[in-house]
Amino acid sequence: MHSVRPALRAHPVLVLLTLATAACNGDKPGTDSGSIGDAGDTGCGCPEPITFYADLDADGYGDPNNAVEACTAPTGYVGNAADCDDADGHVHPDADEACNGIDDDCDAEIDEDPADGSTWYADADGDGYGDPDAPVVSCDEPSDAVSNDADCNDSDDAVYPGAPELCDGIQNDCDAGWTSDAGTATWFGSDGTVTDLSATFAAGADGAPATWSSADSGLLRVCEGTWYVNLELTGDDVEVEGIDDPVLDGGTAGRVLRLDAASTASIHDIAFQRGDSAWRGGCIHASGGVLAVERVTMAACTATAAGGGLSVQDLAEFSVTDSIFTGNQSADDGGAIGIDSVDAVSMSATIFEDNSGEGYGGALWAQDVVSLSADGLTVTENTSDSAGGAFALEGVGATISGSSFTGNVGRGGGAIWINDGTALTVTGSTFEGNSGTTGGALHCSASATNSLVVTDTTLVANDASDQGGAIYANYGSSSACGSVSVSDSVIEENHATNYGGGVSDFATSSVYERVEVLDNSTSRGIGGMYLRGTDKTISDSRVSGNSSGEVAAIYLDQDDTTLTLENTEVSYNTGGSYYGTVHITRGTVLCVGDTSVDTYGIWGNTAPYGNGVYVAEPGTFIATDCDMGDGVAVDDNAGPDIYMMHNGSTWSFGQDATFTCDGATGVCS
C-alpha cells in the first residue's frame, strides 16, 4: 500500500503576514502602489507597520532577535523585546531571582537578591558581628557579611557583644546597661595594637602599686577610678589621657610615672598623688624631647631630690597649663616642680599651693633655662627652708606676668629668689603677705649677671625678718645683684625688722620710675628704702608715710655713689632716734624738682635731728628747685629741714630751694 503524504499546511502566522503584506502592497484595485513604509494610507488602514517580537515561551516578553513588522500583533508576538531567554517561560524581567545559577530577571546579574536565598548581615569592621541595619540576601555567605545581626557599631572592630570594655568613651560590649567606662584603662599602641590594662592596674593596692611599662609609642587612656600604679613609658611619642577625672596614686611606694621620650610626650586631664621617689620627681620624672602638661592635678607627692611632684630634665620644651600643684614636698629643691636644663618653659593658668622644699624653691626650682614664660599663676602659701619660698631661679631668662604670689615663706625671697645670671621680669602681678629673712617678696642674690625688672606690679604687706620687706638686692664681698629696675608699681605696707621696710637695694645699678613707696616700716633701721651700690635714680615717684625707729624714708650708705631724686615727693614719713627722714651716711643725694610743681621735694616729715635730711660727715646733699615745704603749698617738715652731723648745725629752706650741704664742713650754701 502506498502512503498518502498529507498536504503541507502553511504556518498561520506566515499566512496572516502574507495576507497583510499583500493587502498593504496595493494589490487591491483602487489602492496606491506605495510601499509598506510609506506614511500615506495604503488602503488597508495601516499608515505605518509596527515591530512585534516573538514570545515563544508565552511569558509576555519578546525575543529581541526574532521580530516582524505588521499592522497588528500576530499571534505569538508581543510589542516588547525584554526577554533574555525566550525558550524558558520562567525567565523574564518580572521573574523572581532564584538560587539556580541563571539570570532569572534579565538584569545581567545571576542569583542576586534571590527569593529563596538566605539573609546575611554586613560586617564592615571585620569583627565577626553583623550590622542589623545592613542585611544582605544571598545564596552563599558573602565574604564581608555574617549570619548574625548582633553588632551595635559596625564601624569599630573593638565594639561587639562580649568585647572587653575599653577606656574609649564607647559602649564596647553592646550591653544596653552601659553608662560609662569607669574602672577601665587601655593602651592604644601607635602600631594599632590595643591592650586592656584594666585588670593589670586594678591589681594595685595602697602600699603595693601595680607596675607596667612600655617602650612603644602610643596613648595610655585611663578612665574614672583611683589606680595604684608605678608606670614607665619610654617610647618616642607618648600621650597619657584621663577620662572623667581618674587618679593615679603611687601608694607612697614609688614614682607614679616615668617618661623618657626622644620626641614628644603629653599628659592631660588626670590627677597624680602620693608618688614617692628616692631621686627626682615623686609623681612624674620626664627627660628628653618635649613635654606638655595640661589640666593636671598633682598632690601629696614626695621626692628626695629636685621636684617633689614633677621633675623635668634635658628637654627642648616644657609647658604646664591650667593645672594644680598642692601639698607636694621635696627634701631638696622644688617642692612641686624641679626644672633642669630645658630650653623653653611656659606656664599658664596654674595654681601652686602649700608645696614645700628643704632646698631652693618651695613650689618651683629652675636651673639653666633659656626662656621661662609664666602667665596667670596663683602661687599661695608655699615654703622653702632655704631661698625662694615659692620660686627659685638659677641661670634663667624669666618673664612672669599677670600672677599673684601670696603668703609664701622662704629664707631668702619669700616669693622669688634669683641667682647665677637670672634675668627676671615681673609685670602686672601682685605680691602680698609673703615673708623671708631677706626680701619678703623678691630677692636678687649677689651675682653681677642677675637682673630684676618689676613693672605695673603691687608689692603689699610683705615682711622680712632682716632686710627688704618687699625687695632685697644683695651684695657680697666680690659682687652684688647686677641691676634693679622698678616702674609703674606700688610698694606698700611692707615691713622689715632691720633695714628697708620697703626696699633694701645694693645692686650695681638701680632705677625707680613712677613708683609709690608708701607706709612701709621697720622696727629699726630704715622704714622706706635702704640704698647702697653704684648710682641710683628715683624719678616721678612718691615716698610717703614710711616709718622707722631710726631712718624714716631713705638711707644712702655708699662712697662714690649718687642717688638722684628727680621730680619725686618724699613726704609724711616718720623717723625715730636722731637719724632723720633722708639719711646720707656716705655718697651724694641730689633732689631735683620743677618750679611749676609744688610737691617735688622733701617736706611734711617728722624725725629728730633732720626732719628732712640728715647729712653725715662724708655725705653731700644737693638741692635744685627742691621743695622743702613752705607751710602753704605743702606742709613744712616738723623741724629743721637739714641736720649736719659734723657740727650739729641745722638749716631750713622753702619752696623751689636750690642749695648744697657739705657733710664734711657742716655748711649748706
Give pLDDT tens digits for 234-250: 999 999 999 999 999 99
Per DSSP bridges, beta strands 458-460 and 430-432 are: parallel
pLDDT at 48 over 50: yes
Joined grid coordinates for residue 475: 651684695
Sheet holding 145-146, edge to edge: 135-138, 118-122, 145-146
SS3 22: helix
Determine the residue type at 235. G
Among the listed ranges 19-28, 366-375, 420-429, 499-508, which one has the minimum average pLDDT value? 19-28
Average pLDDT, the chain: 91
pLDDT tens digits for 609-624?
889 999 999 999 999 9
Question: What is the Cα–Cα distance from 304 to 276, expressed in whole angstroms?
Answer: 9
CA atoms within 13 A on the CB side of 506: 23
**Over pLDDT 90: what percentage of the chain?**
79
pLDDT at 175 over 90: no
Confidence (pLDDT) at 21: 40
In 3D space, the residue among 226, 284, 275 whose CA is nearest the CA of residue 253 turns out to be: 275
pLDDT at 636 over 90: yes
pLDDT tens digits for 392-432?
999 999 999 999 999 999 999 999 999 999 999 999 999 99
SS3 435: strand
DSSP string for 147-162: S----S-TT-TT-STT
Cβ–Cβ < 8 Å for 144, 138: no
Q: How far, in whole angstroms, is CA 241 from its chain's centroid?
A: 14
Predicted confidence band of residue 482 (pLDDT cuts 50, 70, 90): very high
Q: Once rounded to an integer, what is the mean pLDDT over residues 268-281? A: 97
Q: How far, in whole angstroms, is CA 235 from its chain's centroid?
A: 22
Question: What is the Cα–Cα distance from 32 to 28, expressed in whole angstroms?
Answer: 9
**CB within 8 A of 431, min separation 6: which ones?**
404, 405, 406, 415, 441, 442, 457, 458, 459, 460, 462, 470
Predicted confidence band of residue 574 (pLDDT cuts 50, 70, 90): very high
pLDDT at 583 over 90: yes
Torsion sign over Cα 150, 152, 157, 163: negative
- Rounded to 5 degrees, φ, ψ at 253 are -130, 20
Predicted confidence band of residue 112 (pLDDT cuts 50, 70, 90): confident
Confidence (pLDDT) at 42: 41
- Rounded to 5 degrees, φ, ψ at 629 are 90, 145
- Please count the other Cβ atoms lying within 10 Å of the Cβ belonging to residue 629: 26
* C-alpha to C-alpha distances, 658 to 473, 481, 609, 635, nearest whole angstrom: 32, 34, 21, 18
Q: Once rounded to an integer, what is the mean pLDDT over residues 523-529? A: 94
Confidence (pLDDT) at 115: 84
pLDDT tens digits for 134-157?
999 888 889 899 999 988 889 988
* C-alpha to C-alpha distances, 185 to 168, 192, 201, 542, 576, nearest whole angstrom: 9, 16, 7, 61, 69
The alpha carbons of the chain give a radius of gyration, in whole angstroms, of 48
| Strands (DSSP E) found in 87-138 | 118-122, 135-138
Question: What is the Cα–Cα distance from 602 to 572, expressed in whole angstroms?
Answer: 9
pLDDT at 10 over 70: no
Confidence (pLDDT) at 225: 97
Question: What is the Cα–Cα distance from 151 to 173, expressed in whole angstroms?
Answer: 9
Confidence (pLDDT) at 34: 34
Joined grid coordinates for residue 395: 641661670
Question: What is the Cα–Cα distance from 260 to 237, expressed in whole angstroms?
Answer: 9
* C-alpha to C-alpha distances, 537 to 479, 483, 503, 591, nearest whole angstrom: 20, 12, 14, 10
pLDDT at 124 over 80: yes
Question: What is the Cα–Cα distance from 334 to 314, expressed in whole angstroms?
Answer: 16
Confidence (pLDDT) at 45: 59
Q: Once rounded to an integer, what is the mean pLDDT over residues 207-220? A: 97
Confidence (pLDDT) at 496: 98
pLDDT at 27 over 50: no
Task: Find the helix or strand (DSSP H, E) in which 555 lies.
Answer: strand 554-566
Q: Once rounded to an integer, what is the mean pLDDT over residues 567-573? A: 98
Confidence (pLDDT) at 524: 87
Among the listed ranges 37-41, 80-84, 261-265, which one has the minimum average pLDDT value? 37-41
Confidence (pLDDT) at 173: 83
Among the listed ranges 221-225, 260-264, 635-639, which one has the minimum average pLDDT value? 260-264
Question: What is the Cα–Cα distance from 316 to 344, expressed in whole angstroms?
Answer: 6
SS3 199: helix
pLDDT tens digits for 279-330?
999 999 999 999 999 999 999 999 999 999 999 999 999 999 999 999 999 9
Q: Once rounded to an integer, what is the mean pLDDT over residues 578-607? A: 96
Confidence (pLDDT) at 578: 82
Cβ–Cβ < 8 Å for 489, 464: no
Joined grid coordinates for residue 137: 540576601
pLDDT at 3 over 90: no
Question: What is the Cα–Cα distance from 35 to 281, expressed in whole angstroms?
Answer: 107
